[in-house]
Amino acid sequence: MQSDTYIPRRLDDQWKIGFWDADVAFPFVFSLFVGYLTSTKLGFAICAAAGMYLSRWVSRTKADKHPAFAMHWAHWALPANPITALRATPPSHLRRMVG
């Protein structure tokens, strides 16, 4: 039996929404949802423009950094709670490590 087998070259790629990484597309998609909730064309346009601006900002901030930069930033900048707390790393308020 001869069959063509697909062998993936990259196993740890970021999640994609269309052509965009999920963390870049999220601000735009969320702002479209908020714009839809406003029920006005002007509100939708303003929210879409703000979402595009935020997505561009995230994309430029993330450029030339580690692929998981957004997750690392969220761990150190956002407050820890039982849902977002990581078990293998210390809490984000502990800045000094001995070792």
Domain ranges of the chain: 16-77
How much is the mean pLDDT over the chain? 81
Q: Is 57 within 8 Å of 44 (Cβ atoms)? A: no
pLDDT(50) > 70: yes
Q: pLDDT tens, 51-96?
A: 999 999 988 988 888 877 877 887 778 776 766 666 666 666 766 6
